[in-house]
Structure 1
Amino acid sequence: MRPQALLVAALIAFSVTACSPTASPEPRTAGQKATPDNPRPEATEEILEAGAAGLAHTGTPAPHSELSAVIERTLPSIVNVQTTSVVRDIFGDPSQGKGQGSGVVIDEGGIILTNNHVITGAVSVRVVFNGGRTMEGRVIAAVAEKDLAIVKVEATNLEAIAIGRSDSLKLGDEVVALGYPLGLGGPTVTSGIISGENRNIQPQGGVRLEGLLQTDAAINPGNSGGALVDRAGQLVGINTAAGTPAAAENLGFAIAIDGALPIIREILEDPPEQRAWLGVSLTDLEPAAATQLGVEPDLEGALVVEVSPDSPADMAGIEQGDVVTGIGDTRVGSANDLVEALGEWDPGERAELKVMGAAGSRTETVELGQRPVTK
């Protein structure tokens, strides 16, 4: 027989043997009748029962870490912020949208700090406390350019978080991020270190944020508005953004509390209805964006990224993609310039905005309004 024929015959013999019913004996189960190969089938059950009876806790619980005590003390100040908004589909038909994030109780009288992007567009807000207590909230102020917002609930004697100092942190200091990510139904705690300071970022679709803390503590969707605390449980930052998995791992950002406090005090001391409101979301104009918009690459100003419907800006003809370069006699070179300039105006006053767009420069007259309060 030729070698090829021998090989084929061998393969056929192997295949038949492997598929033979006698190659794999049938498995036996407990309670099976005795056979010469298994004279005591009940012995297997006896061994299992004896082993199960001997299973018990034999060790003593490990001591809790110091950090767990800090977290237990801090959690009552961390809340879940749930929002309802009205969104429109591509045909313009309205539908109800749901969203959620986190917040931090900073005053026992019901003042809760969160991110502006958590409550943007909300028509109703519900606050869920650790333990399940639920209350209706209302947005009393929002500062979009700093991604901060204040939500108020009608309550007293809430457990307010202790506020620390972010400028005392050093690289490598341990921190903990607390919040309600991914809709998991309860608070989540992650730990890490301060891995960077004074970071400037521009989240996709958001405004440019400066002076942020960088941490490798995991910050996930829904963590926004939650607390970044030090080892003493003191608030040092407000979780706001994270690097995308495709770009970086373990890269989260928080608004430093030292930079946020002056804004919070201003909001609480100067109610929003007493400040002039334009109704736009802004960011700084970068050269790349200027090129895309068809304006000069070295142009400086406040880029309009969103216009609130029926707002003063909307009524005046301000559009997404416009660049505001001045208000009244004040030059505007950045988003912050325009925000500060608006602080000098009162609701009801008429202001001239110098605007640059793809069609060229123009002047729009806008009657400034009062910042609306979300119920």
Structure 2
Amino acid sequence: MKRENPASTRRLFFLLSVFVLVFFLPACFKLGGEPSIDAEFTLTREISLMGISEFAFSVDVTGVKDAAVVEFDNGMPSVALSGGKAESRFFANIGTGEVTLVVRDSKNVELLKKTVTLEETKSTFDLAAMEDKTGIYVLIDGDLIFYSLECLENMTFAEKVELLIEVILVNDSYVVIQSGEDAWIWDFETYPNNPKYDLTQDTLDTLGLPNYALAICEGGFFNILNGKSLYLLVVDVDPEEGGEVEVDPDQILYEEGTEVSLTSEPAEGWLFEQWTGDATGSDARIVITMDSNKTTTANFKLERYSVTFFVSDSKGSVEGALVSFDGEERKTDAQGKAEFYEIAPGSKVYAITKLGYEDLAGNVIVDSDKTVDIVLAYKTYELTTLVSGEGLILR
């Protein structure tokens, strides 16, 4: 067998390697493309009161298979890729100079990474010149939720992004800027550009907004127009069927210092007993001053009275007389007294019997506690004597 020259073999292998590097590998790259991330961040606005820059973000990932998501190193939520592409909003703290993107596949394996320089941003927002009403107002179920500047400053970046997603994509939201005596309101989507409106009652009516808001961080309601604190008044009735309470003025929220009149109105067959809670007393009408959230209860009781019978004869008190009244029976004591309690109002019949006395009956109009004086008459009998024969009858 003829053996090849080793030197010739090495030369052949070298030539083959050069051929692969020069011709085959470039063809592979041309076929699949070089792995790359083409990302663009276009500054759209600065949300200065939050210290946030907003960008329009787009990305195109090529040259890799199964590119599923792109992640950011600044805390922004990841963005799903479709065909290696995506468009979304991107938020960063004002002054952030660059952001690093990481592309991962559906198994969370890192495929590519790239650092992109962001357009330079700098806040010109003068926090010191802003008054208390400045902040973000989110309309939820007809109520405005207020995020003050202090509240926003204490949020983490992730919390701010979560709020931004809510105010942009979920709920109608507004920005109010107050400087000195002047205050303006924007739809959040247009802030800080025009149109902006003077913060007045007419503006709120036009926008369909209430003139109060709940400060989510500080707690408590306030009037958007004048900044005064608002307090909640809760009036309960116990029991519910016992009656009602007239509230004047009848509102849900009251400005600090407002005087509110509460008047109890018992239902038929009930009596007002007392106020309990933040307002106390037994007067049917009271006036409270709203200087905090208050809860008070009007307590009612069934209209019930006591009826006391005093039974006597010509000689004095009668003990042991049977008094029947309102379905109950009592015997008089040594003082001739019989007491009945928890008697409903109305006309009630009574009957009194005692051996040796005439029976007595009548009625009592029960509309308050009553005392009934009864004088019994001795029962009289006719005695007929028949005499037969002679004799004497002595009386």
Higher relative contact order, chain-length normalized (CA < 8 Å, sep 6+): 1
Q: Whose Rg is larger?
A: 2
Per the normalisation by structure 1, the TM-score is 0.22
Per the normalisation by structure 2, the TM-score is 0.21
